[in-house]
Amino acid sequence: MSPAASRVAHIGLGAIGLPMALRLAGAFPVRAYDIDESRLSAAVQGGATAAGSAAEAAAGSDVVVLAVRDQAQVEAALFGAGGVVGAGFRGVVLLTSTIGPAAVRVIAERLASSGIGLVDAPVSGGPVRAGEGDLLVLVGAAAEALALARPVLERLASTLTIVGGAAGDGQVFKTINQLLAGVHIAAAAEAIALARGLGVDPRTVISALSQGAGGSFMFADRGPRMLQAYGDGAEVKSRLDIFVKDMSIVTEVARQTHVATPLAAAAEQLYLLADSHGLGARDDSSVVTLLSPRHDDPEAA
């Protein structure tokens, strides 16, 4: 199948889903669906066609891209009323959500029994890179399913990493990625909170340390955003409560695997605590405000 022949259904138009849908609409006919009509309107303005349900989006499509928040939303979109499976869809589902290996394996079996293939393809990179086709995509899929989804994957990914031959393999790698990412954001927050507590300029700390042995992608990326986290209008590029979900997947997978992950566990507690302090819908960089509240900020005094 040539790329031009892929008819795409895109379900889920959130922070990552919408820019992905817009990116796909530049190359394929895309029928989009989201429960939120304002998001759906934005997709239509970007060239997609609106569908009234997941089933309606999927009907007649080759590839269903599923970019929803969590396991419950994945199951509803696939198996619920107005879901993909009821529509007689026979193509491939390309799942970009992070929901953990065990959940994806069960879903892959249920889909297989309806003649539907599953490409497990969790993504990493954030909204800006999603819109530019610059995502890291960690793919686990059987060869036939992968072949059908490949044109769509190549439109989304700058780095398409086939990590395994079965659904669930992508989630395994994404889980390990989120362990690192979630711990690194929390470490960056501790570093910046400590800098503020010690009365040194966090900007100088970031520039002095981010290229050295203490450097991480997250310290360089979230560090500067943490300095803006005290304002009310800080842009939300990645919601903090995504890490509440993802760190729970990390610690649950580690528990099932009998591997101790004390830092990931501490990071999970920190995100839970931040969420309980009302920061769930804010950018994940706002976790720094939990460790270093505004009243400590010399510039905000």
Binding site for a copy of itself (CB under 8 A): 101, 124-126, 136, 138, 159, 161, 163-164, 169, 172-173, 175-181, 183-184, 186-188, 190-191, 193-198, 200, 204-205, 208-209, 211-219, 221, 250, 253-254, 257-267, 269-270, 291-292
Which residue is catalytic, options 174, 184, 245, 282? 174
Least separation in angstroms between residue 141's CB and a copy of itself is 15
Backbone angles phi, psi at 84, to 5 degrees: -65, -40
Query: Which residue's entry shows tokens 């922070």?
Result: 15
Cβ distance to a copy of itself smaller for residue 97 or 124 = 124
Least separation in angstroms between residue 173's CB and a copy of itself is 6
Cβ distance to a copy of itself smaller for residue 48 or 138 = 138
For residues 189 and 224, the answer to whether their CB atoms sit within 8 Å is no
CA distance 276 to 213: 33
Tokens for 218? 């997250």
Determine the angle formed by the axes of helices 240-257 and 169-198, rounding to 10 degrees: 120
Quick check: is 245 catalytic?
no
Q: Which value, to the nearest 10 degrees, does the dihedral of the CA atoms of residues 146, 152, 153, 159 take?
A: 140
Cβ distance to a copy of itself smaller for residue 50 or 136 = 136
DSSP state of 283: B
What number of other Cβ atoms are within 10 A of residue 208's Cβ? 12
Least separation in angstroms between residue 134's CB and a copy of itself is 11
Would you call 101 helix, strand, or coil by DSSP? helix
In DSSP terms, which residues pair with 283 in a beta bridge?
A: 239
Least separation in angstroms between residue 27's CB and a copy of itself is 24
Cβ distance to a copy of itself smaller for residue 212 or 233 = 212
CA distance 14 to 18: 6
Least separation in angstroms between residue 214's CB and a copy of itself is 3
Phi-psi region of 292 (alpha: psi -120 to 50; beta: other; left: phi over 0): beta
Q: How far apart are the first and last CA of the chain?
A: 62
Cβ distance to a copy of itself smaller for residue 18 or 206 = 206
User: Which residues does the annotation mark as catalytic?
Assistant: 174
